[in-house]
Amino acid sequence: MDSFLIQGGRPLCGDIEISGSKNAVLPILAATLLTRETCIIRKVPDLSDVHFMGKILRSLGADFTYEHGVVTLQAKRLKARGDYDLIRKMRGSICILGPLLARSGKASVSMPGGCVIGTRPIDLHLKGLKALAAEIHIQEGYVHAKAGRLQGAEVFLGGRVGPTVLGTANIMMAATLAEGVTVIESAACEPEITDLAHFLIAMGAKIEGAGSPRMVITGVDRLHGAEHEVIPDRIEAATYAMAAAATNGEVTLHHMRCDHLAAVLDKLKEAGVRMEARGTSLKILPGGEINAVDVSTQPYTGFPTDAQAQLMALMLKAAGLSIITERIFESRFMHANELARLGADIAIEGPSAIIRGGLPLSGAEVMASDLRASAALVIAGLMCPGRTQVNRIYHLDRGYEGMDQKLRSLGAKVKRVKER
Ligand code: EPU
């Protein structure tokens, strides 16, 4: 397994381009199953999760090609049963269930298990599809769903901790081909959902209210091929903004949407990070001290759970106590113990992490446990003096396009070490 060797303690300086959003593109790729016609998706990040999704779609019978950030897809004929082992390996693949069922009248998809950040149930996905008149049963690790034509219905998708992002995507996609009107209440409002809605509308779907908690979808008989450009990755942008602040660097992020990052930028401002937003660029400026801040993760428009670990790394620099409360996933603090190897003082109390920042840090060998935890370890490695080795960086390759190259272009000393 590859690792990153980071020689830390140097400010990041320069310009980088933010890639297309991983969490927007995965459901968009799944949505192409809703039509027999060709779809072209642009600004697709070169990520292992994207290629893995391509493999899943191919295994269902679709033609999938990836060339320089452009995916061309056509699913003329479809198999209703997904490859158990392929689908099981990527949680995001659950979003093929809705389109497959809507297009073929049946779908069998492996039941996703829990993962390192929490249990990740799919009860809301299944509740929504049942409301649209699908029959669902779980057998031998598969979710088997079948329906005649799906029927529009009112569906409440609010769960234990609020809306579900991929659950909303699944029901929205299924409802585009259902008979009649579907109203999703407590829909996820994330920009990735709005982006999916834009793609579906380009395919001929009738969707109102995307980006708000109440979405109304009027089913149509068929969808056609479409072209779409994926939105910039707000979490990648947040990660580099925090890395720049953590190293007291001067970095301009290009091709980004500051409006998708209001909660993150507000927190960075409170922490004393100097920033200048201009159109689709954001410049992080070197400044003075970083202040300790408290934050709770929330569904959009709140502070995203996917930027929580990176903020924790930044807070190691702030003198005083900061409290980070994780409200979306129950065990998303795996990075805390690894940060401790660098000298961090972090106590976990229930859903909160209490960080005593401002202590001296020094490089060490650490282990990445999931995508965002890995990003936090890289940020910490960049800011502390000495050599940090981050092992198991395949997690980073799932969600950050060319992270080592982008960091090197900002002057960081980061080397990818291939496992022999
Ligand atoms: N939940 C339920 N029942 C369900 C579905 C979800 O109780 O049927 C709960 C979850 O256990 C969790 C909460 O609802 O407590 C929110 O989960 P959600 O369904 O919104 O998560 P997701 O759609 O599976 C996506 C992203 C995650 C991101 C979350 C929250 C993709 C591929 N994944 O997951 O991204 O953390 O939304 O914003 O879009 C990442 O990129 O690192 C990542 C984990």
CATH number of the structural domain spanning residue 151: 3.65.10.10
Cβ 161 under 6 angstroms from ligand 1:
yes
Q: Answer yes or no: pTM beyond 0.85.
A: yes
Same domain, yes or no, for 197 and 324? no
Same domain, yes or no, for 270 and 243? yes
CB 195 within 8 A of CB 43: no
Cβ 164 under 6 angstroms from ligand 1:
yes
By residue range, what is the domain housing residue 191? 22-229
Same domain, yes or no, for 386 and 410? yes
User: Which of 181, 201, 229 is where one domain is finished?
Assistant: 229
Treating both helix axes as pointing N-terminal to C-terminal, what angle do 48-59 and 22-31 enclose, rounded to 10 degrees? 10
* pLDDT at res. 118: 77
Cβ 26 under 6 angstroms from ligand 1:
yes
Half-sphere exposure of 134 (CA within 13 A, CB side): 32
CB 36 within 8 A of CB 74: yes
* pLDDT at res. 114: 60
Same domain, yes or no, for 174 and 206? yes
Same domain, yes or no, for 291 and 218? no
Q: How far apart are CA 64 and CA 86, in angstroms?
A: 16
User: Which of 176, 199, 229 is where one domain is finished?
Assistant: 229
Treating both helix axes as pointing N-terminal to C-terminal, what angle do 371-383 and 308-315 enclose, rounded to 10 degrees? 20
Residue ID of nearest Cα to ligand 1 atom 43: 306
Specify burial of residue 295 (Cβ count, 10 A radius: 0-12, 13-18, 19+): buried
Residue ID of nearest Cα to ligand 1 atom 18: 164
Same domain, yes or no, for 109 and 222? yes
Treating both helix axes as pointing N-terminal to C-terminal, what angle do 97-104 and 123-131 enclose, rounded to 10 degrees? 20
* pLDDT at res. 362: 96
Same domain, yes or no, for 209 and 255? no
Same domain, yes or no, for 223 and 82? yes
Number of domains in the chain: 2
Cβ 364 under 6 angstroms from ligand 1:
no
* pLDDT at res. 100: 95
Cβ 43 under 6 angstroms from ligand 1:
no
Residues lower than pLDDT 50 in the chain: none
Same domain, yes or no, for 250 and 273? yes
**Diameter over CA atoms, the chain:** 63
Residue ID of nearest Cα to ligand 1 atom 10: 120
Instruction: List active site positions.
Output: 115
Atom of ligand 1 nearest to the CA of 159: 7
